[in-house]
Structure 1
Amino acid sequence: MAKIEIMIPAMGEGITEATITQFLKKEGDFVEEEESIVEIATDKVDSEIPAPQNGKIAKLLFAEGDVAQVGDVVAILIPEGEELNDEELSTASPVQAKTEEKVIELPNEVVAIETEAKMTSKTENGSFISPLVRKIAQEENISLEELNQVQGSGENNRITKKDILQFIENKTSQAKVAEPIVAPVSASPAPAPTSTPVSHQSYNGENVEIIEMDRMRKLIAQYMVQSKQVSPHVTSFIDVDVTGLVQWRNKVKNEFLQKEGQKLTFTPIFVEAVSMALKDYPMVNVSVDGDKIIRKKFINIGMATALPSGNLIVPVIKGADEKNLVGITKQVNDLADRARANKLQPDEIQGSTFTITNLGAFGSTTGTPIINQPEVAILAVGAIKKKPAVIETPQGDTIGIRNIMVLSLSYDHRVVDGALGGMFLKRVAEYLENFDTERKI
C-alpha cells in the first residue's frame, strides 16, 4: 500500500521548527491536490502545507499547538480506495526525556559520572520549548525543574527567548540580593549602583484597555530591539527632485495597465534604482559575522509591507538586479497582494540583502528606519511633495514648482562609514533624478 508522508518543509535559513496552529482536515477526510491540510507558524511567517495529490488523511501525527521540526512527518495521506494497517501507520514516537551517563575528566584526574537530563520540546506543565530556548537553558545551567516554573508568554504557552532571559535575569537578581553585603575597605566613595528598569505602573479600571500583543507584534518588537542593540545606527538624508519621474509615470501608467495588466507604482522604480546603486557600491550589500564582512554577489531587495492587522512583513524580491522594470513590477504587486492576504511562503521572506520601506505611503516626508538584520542598511522613501525649488538654467536661476521627496538611509556604522553611506545615497538619488523620461514600456 502506498502512503504519502506530509512533512514540515524547509522554510529558509535559520528556521528549524514550526508550531502546528491548526489542522484544516481531520483523519478520514478526503482532500484534493493543493488543498491545504495544516496551518503552521514560525518565528518569521504563518504558512499552510498543501496535499501533494488527491487522497484521504489516514493519520495526524501531531496535535494543534505542538512544535514540529523541519522534516518531521505531521500527517499521512493515502490514495483514494486504499487502506493502511496499524503497522504501516506506525511512526517513531516523540523524543522523550532520558538520562544518560557521561564520563568527565576532572582536573585532578578523578573520573566522575555526570547525570545529564535531555530536554524535550515541552515542560511537565505543557509549555513548549524551542531549540533556541533549550540551548540557552543548557548554557545557563537551567534545569528541567526550573523550566517548569517559567510561564510561557508565546502562543499555546510557548516559552520564548524573552521568557527564558527574563527568568535568568530574575534568578541572578535574587542571587545577588541573597549575598551578604561587605563594607569596602577603602575610604574611597563606593561606585554608583547600576540603574535598574523602572517598574511600570499598574493600570486598571474602565479608563484603559489592556491589549495583548499578538505573536507577530511580539516578534517585531523583539527584532527591532535586537537590531538597535547589534548595529550602531547612523541616518543620512537627501532631497531628490523626481519631477521627471512623476511626469513619466503619469504618462505611461494607463498604457502599462492595459498592456501588462499591472498597476505601475513608484516602488518598482525605487527597487530598480537601489539595485543599480548596490552594484555600484557593493560594500553596502553586505552582512557582518563577528569580525568578518560577508559581501553578497546577489541582490535581493526586501520591501516592508504593512498588513491589515497593523503588523509589518518584509517579502523579498530575489535577483532584483536581473529583472527589468516590468518583471520587478509584477513581483512587487504579487508579493504585496499575497502578503496582505497572508499567503506568502516562508522562503519569500528570507534572504534579503537590503530593504526599502515606503514612508510616503502614509504621508510621512521622512524618517529614521531601523535596519533589517542581518543587513547593514535600509532606505526609507518619503512622500513626494510639490515644493518651490531653485531651477538652474543657462539664462540664470529661477524658482519653480517641483516634485521633491526625501530619501533617508540608516546604516550600520560598524562597516558603513559616512562617506560610503553618503555616496550610496547620492547615487540612488542620481538614478531617480536622471530617470529616462523617454523610456518605453
Structure 2
Amino acid sequence: MPAATAPVAKTNGTTSSAAIAAASTSSIPRESQGRFYSPLVRSIAAVEGLSVTELDSIAGTGLEGRVTKDDVLSYLSNRGARPAAPATPAPAAAPSTTSAPASSPSVSVNALAPVGLPVGADDEVIPMDRVRQLIAEHMVKSKLTSPHVTSVAEADVTGIVKLREKVKGAFEKREGFKLTYTPFFGVAVSEGTKQWPRINVSVDGKNIILHKRVHLGMATALEDGNLIVPVIKNADTLNVTGMARSMNDLAQRARTKKLSPDDISGGTITVTNVGGFGSLFGTPVINQPQTAIVGIGAIQKRPVVRELNGEDIIVVRHMVYLSITYDHRVIDGALATQALAAMVRSLESMNESTVAI
C-alpha cells in the first residue's frame, strides 16, 4: 500500500511535501529583516523549530536573495545534531485552516525509535535523511494526534469499467492523455463528502473547522519512490472529465517538479489509490490537519449474488473495496459509514447513460 498519507518532500531542489506545507507557520512571520519568507519555508522552519533569528542568518540563493526550501534544508543538514533553537512565540491568532491542531503533541523520531538494536554482519545501516525524518515525524504525530478508525465498503463498478472501455480511445485522442479510473473515484469521493460535510473538517484545539468546499488531496507516486499529495481545489464542482484534467495536470507537474506550494496545501480530504499494486484495501494514515482519507482498492472480477425475477443468481461483476480512515475525535462511525455509502452509491450510478465524457 503506498504511504500516500505521508505527503513526501523530495531533496536536491525538487518539490517539497504537503506534510511540511500543512505544518503550522504561525511562529514565523512572513517578513523579517526586509526578507519575505514563503509559506513552504515558514512551514519547514516551524516543523524544525527554527527561530526567526536563524532564518534571518541563512544566505538565500533565490530571487533577490530569498531563502528557498533547499537553503533551509542545507542549513539543517549542516547544523547536524545541534539542538534546534526554540521558535519565537507568536501572539494568539485566529484558527487557520492549514495549521496543525493546537493540541498536537510534539514528536521526535529519535525519542520514539528503539535504540541499541543489534546489527548483523550482513545488515546495512542507512541513516535517515532530513526528508525521511520529517515524514516519520509527520506519521507518528498523526497517529498520536488522531484516534484512527477504518471502515470498508464494497462497490460494483461494472458500469464504470464498461464506460471507460468504450470511451478511452476517443478520450485519449481528444485530451492527449489516458483516461484512468481515478477521476471516477475522485468525483465519487467529492460527492460523498459534499453530501456529508462533517467529514470535511479540521481540528484546531477545541474548535472544529468545517470546510465549505472540497479540496481533494491526491496521492501521487514519484519516480524516486516518494509520494506527494497535490490538491485539487474545488473538486466538488468537477465532473469526470474536469477531474481527469486536473489530476493529469497535477500529476505531470509533480513528476516534473513544477508544483507550487499552493498546489500541495489546503487539502480538506485525501484519496489514495492503494490498489495500484494489487492491494484489496488499505488503512492509510490521516494527512493532518485533515480528519479523513479514502483508500481505493484494486478493481477485480468477483462472483456476486444478484436477484433476478425473485431468484438469487451468481454473476461476475467488477468490484472494488473502498476504505475510509477517520479521526474518531470528531467523526463517529455512523457519520463515516454514511459518507462512505454515499461514495459507493455515486460510483455505482456511473455508467454510459449517466456520465458524459
CA deviations over 1:179-210 (Å, ceiling 9, x no partner):
xxxxxxxxxxxxxxxxx9753324264x1222
CA contact (8 A) 1:43 1:219 kept: no
1:216 to 122, 131, 140: 131
CA contact (8 A) 2:107 2:140 kept: no
Bigger share in helix: 2
Aligned counterpart, 1:111:
none
Alignment of 1:331-350 (within 5 A): 331-350=246-265
CA contact (8 A) 2:179 2:244 kept: yes
Cα drift, residue 251 of structure 1: 0.8
Cα drift, residue 337 of structure 1: 1.7
- Is structure 2 residue 79 aligned with structure 1 residue 127? yes
Cα drift, residue 247 of structure 1: 0.8
Query: How far apart, CA to CA, are the structure 2 residues paired with 1:417 and 1:348?
Result: 30
Q: 1:242 to 1:67 in 2, by over 3 A?
A: same
Q: TM-score, normalised by structure 2?
A: 0.72
Alignment of 1:226-237 (within 5 A): 226-237=141-152
Q: 1:272 to 1:436 in 2, by over 3 A?
A: same
Query: How far apart, CA to CA, are the structure 2 residues paired with 1:432 and 1:240?
Result: 7
Consecutive unaligned residues of structure 2, counting only runs of 5 or more, are 1-19, 31-38, 45-53, 67-74, 91-105
Aligned length in residues: 293
Cα drift, residue 213 of structure 1: 2.4
Aligned counterpart, 1:55:
none
Q: 1:12 to 1:378 in 2, by over 3 A?
A: closer
Aligned counterpart, 1:261:
176
- Is structure 2 residue 327 aligned with structure 1 residue 440? no
Identity across the alignment (%): 43
Alignment of 1:163-242 (within 5 A): 199-203=115-119, 205=121, 207-242=122-157
Alignment of 1:267-416 (within 5 A): 267-416=182-331
CA deviations over 1:283-305 (Å, ceiling 9, x no partner):
01001111111000111000111
Query: How far apart, CA to CA, are the structure 2 residues paired with 1:286 and 1:323?
Result: 20
Q: 1:162 to 1:42 in 2, by over 3 A?
A: farther
Query: How far apart, CA to CA, are the structure 1 residues paired with 2:234 and 2:89?
Result: 40
CA contact (8 A) 2:158 2:318 kept: yes
Cα drift, residue 127 of structure 1: 2.0
Aligned counterpart, 1:99:
none
CA contact (8 A) 2:107 2:141 kept: no
SS at match of 1:249: helix
CA contact (8 A) 2:159 2:352 kept: yes
Query: How far apart, CA to CA, are the structure 2 residues paired with 1:399 and 1:126?
Result: 64
Cα drift, residue 42 of structure 1: 4.7
SS at match of 2:169: helix
Aligned counterpart, 2:71:
none
Cα drift, residue 335 of structure 1: 1.1
Cα drift, residue 395 of structure 1: 4.4
Write the letter of the residue equivalent to 2:246. Q
Q: 1:309 to 1:67 in 2, by over 3 A?
A: farther
CA deviations over 1:100-152 (Å, ceiling 9, x no partner):
xxxxxxxxxxxxxxxxxxxxxx89x962899x94336989xxxxxxxxxxxxx
Cα drift, residue 343 of structure 1: 2.2
SS at match of 1:134: coil
CA contact (8 A) 1:216 1:311 kept: no
Aligned counterpart, 2:103:
none
CA deviations over 1:200-259 (Å, ceiling 9, x no partner):
324264x12222223332222111111000000110011111111111111111111112
Q: 1:208 to 1:255 in 2, by over 3 A?
A: same
Write the letter of the residue equivalent to 2:188. A
Query: How far apart, CA to CA, are the structure 1 residues paired with 2:150 and 2:340?
Result: 10
CA contact (8 A) 2:21 2:43 kept: no
Query: How far apart, CA to CA, are the structure 2 residues paired with 1:434 and 1:74?
Result: 50
Q: 1:338 to 1:17 in 2, by over 3 A?
A: farther
CA contact (8 A) 2:160 2:350 kept: yes
Q: 1:44 to 1:216 in 2, by over 3 A?
A: farther
Q: 1:247 to 1:135 in 2, by over 3 A?
A: same
Query: How far apart, CA to CA, are the structure 2 residues paired with 1:44 and 1:341?
Result: 23
Q: 1:368 to 1:69 in 2, by over 3 A?
A: farther
SS at match of 2:177: coil
Query: How far apart, CA to CA, are the structure 2 residues paired with 1:210 and 1:17?
Result: 39
CA contact (8 A) 1:304 1:312 kept: yes
Write the letter of the residue equivalent to 2:155. V
CA contact (8 A) 1:356 1:378 kept: yes
Query: How far apart, CA to CA, are the structure 2 residues paired with 1:354 and 1:319?
Result: 11
Query: How far apart, CA to CA, are the structure 2 residues paired with 1:372 and 1:407?
Result: 17
Query: How far apart, CA to CA, are the structure 1 residues paired with 2:183 and 2:277?
Result: 18
Q: TM-score, normalised by structure 1?
A: 0.59
Query: How far apart, CA to CA, are the structure 2 residues paired with 1:73 and 1:221?
Result: 28
Aligned counterpart, 2:10:
none
Query: How far apart, CA to CA, are the structure 1 residues paired with 2:177 and 2:137?
Result: 36
Aligned counterpart, 1:3:
none
Q: 1:275 to 1:138 in 2, by over 3 A?
A: closer
CA contact (8 A) 1:17 1:67 kept: no
Query: How far apart, CA to CA, are the structure 2 residues paired with 1:138 and 1:75?
Result: 29
